[in-house]
Amino acid sequence: MKLLKPWILVLVGYLLIKFGTPLAGSILHPGTWPVVPSSVMKMFVFFMVAGALLVYSFSEEGYDETIAPIVDLYTKPGRGGLRIGVILAVGFLGAYVAYQYVKPTFDAPVELRSVHPAPPSAAKAWGKSYNLQTLKNPLRADTANFAKNSEEGGKVYYQNCYFCHGDMMLGKGPYAEGFNPLPANFVDIGTIAQLTESFVFWRISTGGPGLPSEGTPWISGMPVWHTLLSEDEVWKVIIFLYDYTGHKPRVTAPKKH
């Protein structure tokens, strides 16, 4: 019977945390019933089990008693059936836990992802370093060739970006469904309409791997385009993105001196 003691203690502790905490919360803040997150619950139960085992196996006598059922199970004759049962159960439990961990899920991760994280001050691409604070689209000044540049940007778009971002730039290309986060919808005012061209340049040339840690935990499928396109092609596709959607790139106000 002594053996049951640690487990009764653990059970009492569990019930106290599970129901005592919300009860205390509801008394302190009437009308609420705060729940204990399951991760915290797991941690408490782990520490309670470990603590109870430590305390009860501290003396030699206690130790023998604590492990007695295990020793019995493995050494007593006539327990063969139970022994096999326990070994199989432990194996299946391990398999079940492992399966739960790796099982794919279609739910969005609970953590939030910053869609437009603050860009680094400098970005590396094509073996060069770009200062994103001062970087401008060199093709903007070339108004004479604007239509031609936009048309060439369109070619770059339909040969490379269309598959994910879609023929109408709504982020609904044939491969789009396979990504989480979904490819950006450039028509929506939440994307390029509120970004500077240097930000867009940074995002295109360094892709998902270029995102800082705030851009995680969802793994962005946006490719690293500086390895596949030329710098000129990226500036052209940016001209095309704004030209097609009718959005104006965001401009940063000139610094007051």
Q: Which residue ranges make up the site for ligand HEC (CB under 6 A)? A: 116, 160-161, 163-165, 175, 179, 181, 183-184, 191, 200, 203-204, 208, 220-223, 225, 237
Per-residue CA distances from 220 to 8, 127, 128, 180, 203 (Å): 48, 23, 23, 7, 11
- The two tokens of residue 216 are 């995680």
- The two tokens of residue 131 are 């200062």
- Closest approach of Cβ 167 to ligand HEC, in Å? 13
- Closest approach of Cβ 254 to ligand HEC, in Å? 24
- Closest approach of Cβ 109 to ligand HEC, in Å? 14
- Closest approach of Cβ 128 to ligand HEC, in Å? 19
Q: Which of 10, 197 has the CB closer to ligand HEC?
A: 197
Residues 182, 173 contacting (CB under 8 angstroms): no
Q: Which of 13, 153 has the CB closer to ligand HEC?
A: 153
Q: Which of 52, 152 has the CB closer to ligand HEC?
A: 152
- Closest approach of Cβ 111 to ligand HEC, in Å? 15
- The two tokens of residue 178 are 């396979």
Burial class (CB in 10 A: 0-12, 13-18, 19+), 12: exposed
Q: What are the φ and ψ backbone dihedral angles of 160, each rounded to 5 degrees?
A: -125, -40
Q: Which of 66, 191 has the CB closer to ligand HEC?
A: 191
Q: Which of 42, 116 has the CB closer to ligand HEC?
A: 116
- The two tokens of residue 4 are 């049951």
Q: Which of 146, 163 has the CB closer to ligand HEC?
A: 163
- Closest approach of Cβ 248 to ligand HEC, in Å? 15
Q: Which residue has the tokens 């940063």?
A: 252
d(CA 30, CA 219): 41
- The two tokens of residue 76 are 């007593």
